[in-house]
């Protein structure tokens, strides 16, 4: 979203016109930003055989997935339903990886039936996988690299006490199962966390992967996970992509020489590809002055964007209706019957009732983590593609609240 004269625009469209047409609260995604981010990643790693798998938990709308598909990338799915959405959007099964954790084995069987690639994150599942498929279906294994990295304790997942991945100390058990059932391990995977700024965390992860990889002769790829840091606040540092690309590619090429053949380098970013493309537009229901604080109460809340309350995440807020207004200090809060602060102590151009506010960088883990809490409808979603704003999900209605409920006949 850019300010052009006195108008905030997305691909040249006045965002107030978009909100007028589709109503608020509204998630709007800019396809150009998604394409730009994909290209940035591709060019940072253009000296190695790179495969990008979009971690679609960040944003699963099937039109967005279709856009990803046209850009030649794959999908990382964490449930069979996510994989099925990717198939619907046009992905081939071989371009989808099912990175499960803690699922019932039947879900993995279902994914294998769909032809989706499998990533296994625990020994009991590996054993069942071997028993069921022997050497007929290859799988990747997710390792726990023992690295603490990521923006917030809740999104650090590579450390010793994390539930994810097979601990390095259990590698001997992996080998026992591989031998016993003739399992073909075609990839190694780690995902250390989200919001990782320091390239060193990826280099450390790579060192773990390269050491372990020498024990597996049938590898086709190494998957370094996702977790690149994007900027949420003005002045935030972000993962230095060219720098990371150079360092990691060089280390990878050295490793492949050692390994004796070229492997593919995989990443599965979520935020990096879709955080910045998305804006959540909300309307100020009223401005409530109290002696201590001036609140802007908007027609949204933690039901639509849970990140501020769940991770203390910061989302920039802009009053798009009054770009020239005097700067004043506000707490922007939702209409949910809980404390649902979207931003506190924010300097905004003067807010009046009915003004439209934009919560920026809301493309990742925004809509996908939304709920119907307080019996509120989930917002509509719009994709701006080639200069045109297209509805890609209808706003929910009372029917959606009642769907699947059963009124008993007492
Ligand atoms: N791969 C795996 C196995 C993951 O678990 C995740 C995210 C990703 C890739 C993508 O990570 P990203 O590039 O988006 O950082 N809801 C939280 C983030 C949780 C991430 C969960 N796993 C948030 O809104 O900050």
**Binding positions for substrate:** 307, 311, 338, 365
- The beta strand positions in 208-352, using DSSP E, are 221-223, 264-267, 278-289, 294-298, 317-319, 327-333, 341-349
Catalytic residues: 337
Mean pLDDT of the chain: 96
pLDDT at 162: 86
- Tell me the CATH number of domain 2-23+278-362+364-402, given options 2.40.37.10, 3.30.479.10, 3.40.1160.10, 3.40.50.1820: 2.40.37.10
Mean pLDDT lowest among 231-235, 313-317, 358-362: 231-235
Ligand 1 atom nearest residue 99's Cα: 3
User: Taking Cα atoms as reference points, which of 82, 51, 37 lies closest to residue 224?
Assistant: 51
Distance CA 276, CA 227 (A): 14
Distance CA 89, CA 68 (A): 9
pLDDT band of 157, cuts 50, 70, 90:
confident
pLDDT at 400: 98
pLDDT band of 148, cuts 50, 70, 90:
confident
Is 230 near ligand 1, meaning CB less than 6 Å away?
Answer: no
Is 272 near ligand 1, meaning CB less than 6 Å away?
Answer: yes
For 43, half-sphere exposure in the C-beta direction (CA atoms, 13 angstrom radius) is 7
Cα separations in angstroms, 218 against 60, 178, 200, 213: 32, 12, 27, 9
Enclosing H/E stretch for 258? helix 241-259
Residue 276 has pLDDT above 90, yes or no: yes
- 339 C-alpha to center of ligand 1: Å? 25
Distance CA 213, CA 145 (A): 13
Is 256 near ligand 1, meaning CB less than 6 Å away?
Answer: no
Is 383 near ligand 1, meaning CB less than 6 Å away?
Answer: no
Q: Which two tokens stand for residue 223?
A: 């998957």
**Ligand 1 binding pocket mutation candidate from 38, 57, 166 (most atoms within 8 A of CB):** 57
- Give ranges for CATH 3.20.20.10 in the chain: 31-274
**Binding positions for pyridoxal 5'-phosphate:** 227, 365
Q: Averaged over 6-15, what is the pLDDT?
A: 97
Residue nearest to atom 5 of ligand 1 (CA): 191
Residue 149 has pLDDT above 90, yes or no: no
Residue 173 has pLDDT above 90, yes or no: yes
CATH topology of domain 31-274: TIM Barrel (3.20.20)
pLDDT band of 154, cuts 50, 70, 90:
confident
- 269 C-alpha to center of ligand 1: Å? 7
pLDDT at 160: 87
φ and ψ at 368, to 5 degrees? -65, -25
CB 281 within 8 A of CB 319: no
Residue 385 has pLDDT above 90, yes or no: yes
**SS3 state of residue 284:** strand
Burial of 374 (0-12, 13-18, 19+ CB in 10 A): middle
Ligand 1 atom nearest residue 273's Cα: 13
Distance CA 221, CA 73 (A): 15
Residue 155 has pLDDT above 90, yes or no: no
Q: Averaged over 352-364, what is the pLDDT?
A: 98
Question: Does ipTM come in above 0.95?
Answer: yes
pLDDT band of 132, cuts 50, 70, 90:
very high
Distance CA 206, CA 131 (A): 30
- 78 C-alpha to center of ligand 1: Å? 11
Residue nearest to atom 3 of ligand 1 (CA): 191
Interval 366-381: pLDDT, tens: 999 999 999 999 999 9
Interval 225-257: pLDDT, tens: 999 999 999 899 999 999 999 999 999 999 999
**Ligand 1 binding pocket mutation candidate from 37, 163, 226 (most atoms within 8 A of CB):** 226
Question: Which pTM value belongs to this model?
Answer: 0.97
- Give ranges for CATH 2.40.37.10 in the chain: 2-23+278-362+364-402
Q: Averaged over 157-174, what is the pLDDT?
A: 92
- 361 C-alpha to center of ligand 1: Å? 15
Q: Which two tokens stand for residue 20?
A: 């007028």
- 118 C-alpha to center of ligand 1: Å? 18
Q: Which two tokens stand for residue 108?
A: 């993995």
Is 227 near ligand 1, meaning CB less than 6 Å away?
Answer: yes
pLDDT at 34: 98
Q: Which two tokens stand for residue 152?
A: 């917030």
| Omega prior to 90 cis, within 30 of 0 | no
């Amino acid at each position: 979203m850019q300010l052009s004269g006195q108008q905030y625009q997305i691909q040249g469209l006045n965002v107030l016109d978009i909100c007028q047409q589709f109503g608020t609260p509204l998630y709007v995604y800019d396809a150009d930003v998604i394409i730009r981010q994909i290209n940035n990643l591709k060019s940072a790693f253009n000296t190695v055989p790179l495969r990008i798998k979009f971690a679609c938990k960040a944003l699963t709308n099937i039109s967005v997935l279709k856009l990803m598909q046209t850009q030649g990338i794959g999908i990382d799915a964490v449930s069979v339903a996510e994989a099925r959405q990717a198939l619907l959007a046009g992905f081939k099964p071989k371009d989808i990886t099912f990175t499960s954790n803690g699922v019932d084995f039947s879900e993995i069987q279902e994914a294998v039936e769909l032809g989706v690639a499998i990533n296994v994150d625990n020994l009991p599942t590996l054993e069942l996988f071997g028993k069921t498929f022997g050497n007929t279906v290859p799988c990747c294994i997710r390792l726990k690299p023992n690295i603490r990295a990521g923006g917030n304790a809740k999104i650090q997942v590579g450390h010793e006490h994390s539930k994810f991945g097979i601990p390095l100390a259990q590698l001997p058990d992996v080998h026992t199962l591989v031998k016993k059932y003739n399992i073909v391990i075609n990839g190694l995977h780690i995902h250390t966390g989200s919001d990782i700024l320091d390239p060193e965390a990826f280099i450390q992860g790579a060192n773990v992967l390269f050491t372990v990889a020498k024990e597996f002769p049938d590898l086709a790829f190494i998957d370094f996970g996702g977790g690149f840091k994007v900027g949420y606040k003005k002045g935030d540092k972000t993962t230095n992509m060219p720098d990371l690309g150079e360092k990691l590619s060089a280390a990878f090429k050295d490793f492949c020489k050692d390994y004796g053949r070229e492997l593919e380098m995989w990443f599965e970013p979520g935020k990096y590809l879709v955080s910045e493309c998305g804006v959540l537009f909300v309307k100020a229901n009223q401005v409530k002055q109290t002696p201590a604080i001036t609140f802007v109460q908007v027609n949204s809340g933690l039901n639509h964007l849970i990140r501020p309350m769940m991770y203390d995440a910061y989302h920039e807020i802009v009053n798009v209706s009054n770009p020239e207004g005097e700067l004043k200090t506000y707490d922007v809060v939702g209409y949910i019957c809980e404390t649902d602060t979207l931003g506190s102590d924010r300097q905004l151009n003067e807010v009046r009732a009915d003004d439209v506010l934009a919560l920026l960088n809301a493309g990742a883990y925004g809509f996908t983590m939304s709920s119907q809490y307080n019996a509120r409808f989930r917002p509509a979603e719009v994709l701006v593609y080639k200069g045109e704003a297209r509805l890609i999900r209808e706003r929910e209605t009372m029917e959606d609240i009642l769907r699947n409920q059963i009124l008993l006949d007492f």
